[in-house]
């Protein structure tokens, strides 16, 4: 996601949707970026499932303290389950994180291969892994792989922003169709709107 690509996306969104034009004026340029480590990004998505941004951040910080840095496949597999739970992770999330770590180590979850797959194939590959549902996979495509045209219709924040900006009866899929092929950038603007609202 280069600045030039983001500016092109902003122009497209502003031309396609007056609400997006307004959000750009209010919020400024899109600062969506790809996180550098796909493994850490996927772990963060698992940790953040059904939690507020603040709660997820607290747990991530505790996990990094426990592991002596950002999670790695090796450190997660070696970590004591009770210590991970003590950092604030549920038993299910501990299992999911350790499964992702194991699959990363044995090659069943190949982050290099995910970069080359089309969005639908990458989603299918990710959702085969226990603990990775559609929302988690969509967040990973946006923040881990930098995919530009991903919309997560199940995301509570996006749904709330659409209701607020487009009306209670606006169907998220129909609204998001206006934004293709830059639905990830539009999503960023909606999340920023919710965070500043």
pLDDT tens-digit series, residues 25-38 = 999 999 998 888 99
* pLDDT tens digits, one per residue of 91-109: 999 999 999 999 999 999 9
Please state which of the four CATH numbers 1.10.10.10, 1.20.140.10, 1.10.1670.40, 3.40.50.11540 is assigned to the domain occupying 3-33+150-196: 1.10.1670.40
The reported pLDDT for the residue numbered 27 is 95
The reported pLDDT for the residue numbered 100 is 95
For Cα atoms 158, 159, 164, give the angle at the middle one, nearest 5 degrees.
95
Q: Is the pLDDT of residue 197 over 70?
A: no
Residue 155 annotated to the active site:
yes
- Could you tell me the sign of the dihedral formed by the alpha carbons of 56, 90, 36, 145, in that order? negative
Mean pLDDT over 45-60 rounds to: 87
Q: How many whole angstroms separate alpha carbon 91 and alpha carbon 8? A: 43
State pTM to two decimals: 0.87
Separation in Å, CA 111 to CA 103, 106, 114: 10, 12, 5
Task: Give the other-Cβ count within 10 Å of 16's Cβ.
Answer: 16
Question: For residue 162, what are its two tokens?
Answer: 């659409």
The reported pLDDT for the residue numbered 141 is 95
Please state which of the ranges 46-60, 130-144, 158-172 shows the lowest mean pLDDT.
Answer: 46-60
Averaged pLDDT score across all residues of the chain: 93
Q: Range(s) for CATH 1.10.340.30 in the chain?
A: 38-143
DSSP secondary structure, 26-43, as one string? HH-S------S-HHHHHH
DSSP-derived secondary structure letter, 180: T
Please state which of the four CATH numbers 1.10.340.30, 3.30.70.260, 3.50.50.60, 3.20.20.70 is assigned to the domain occupying 38-143: 1.10.340.30
Residues 19-56: b if buried by 16+ CB within 10 A, e if exposed: bbeebbeeeeebebeebeebbbbbbbbbbbbeeeeeeb
Which residue in 119, 155, 169, 197 is the catalytic one?
155
Radius of gyration of the chain (CA): 18
Q: How many whole angstroms separate alpha carbon 6 and alpha carbon 24? A: 12
Q: Is the pLDDT of residue 1 over 90?
A: no
Q: Range(s) for CATH 1.10.1670.40 in the chain?
A: 3-33+150-196
């Amino acid at each position: 996601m280069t600045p030039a690509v983001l500016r092109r996306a902003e122009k497209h969104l502003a031309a396609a949707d007056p609400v997006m034009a307004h959000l750009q004026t209010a919020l400024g340029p899109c600062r969506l970026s790809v996180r550098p480590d796909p493994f850490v990004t996927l772990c963060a998505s698992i940790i953040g499932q059904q939690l507020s941004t603040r709660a997820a951040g607290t747990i991530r910080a505790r996990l990094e303290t426990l592991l002596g840095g950002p999670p790695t496949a090796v450190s997660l597999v070696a970590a004591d389950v009770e210590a991970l739970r003590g950092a604030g992770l549920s038993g299910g999330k501990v299992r999911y994180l350790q499964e992702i770590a194991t699959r990363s180590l044995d090659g069943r979850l190949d982050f290099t291969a995910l970069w080359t797959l089309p969005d639908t194939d990458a989603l299918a590959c990710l959702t085969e892994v226990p603990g990775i549902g559609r929302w988690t996979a969509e967040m990973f495509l946006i923040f881990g792989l930098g995919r530009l045209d991903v919309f997560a219709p199940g995301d509570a924040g996006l749904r709330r922003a659409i209701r607020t900006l487009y009306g209670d009866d606006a169907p998220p899929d129909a609204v998001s169709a206006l934004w293709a092929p830059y639905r990830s950038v539009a999503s960023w603007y909606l999340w920023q709107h919710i965070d500043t609202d």
